[in-house]
Amino acid sequence: MSQIIRGLAYLHEQELGHRDLKPKNILIHGLDEPIVKLADFGTVKQMSKESIASMVVGTADYVAPEVVASKPSSLSSDIFSLVAFSL
């Protein structure tokens, strides 16, 4: 989980929102010392911490409520998705 959080933090530092975080988009390589990578950047959007996105994207089971409601979303929507699939 810490590697996923670091990857997401890096994306957000670059002001990029993944917008489709889900287990299928997490790659794990190796068993003894696994390396975790984020994948599928087809929905990535340039966003500042203050900006919002209005297009509905993501996977229904993991998408933030504001996206489902067709309301503007922000980088925090990725955090919701991360928590949703870690439960």
H helix intervals, 1-87: 2-13, 65-68, 76-86
Look at residues 84, 70, 76 and name the one whose alpha carbon lies nearest to residue 18.
76
Residue 53: phi and psi, rounded to 5, are -115, 145
Q: Which of 20, 32, 40, 61 is catalytic?
A: 20
**Catalytic residue status for 20:** yes
Question: Which active-site residues does the annotation give?
Answer: 20
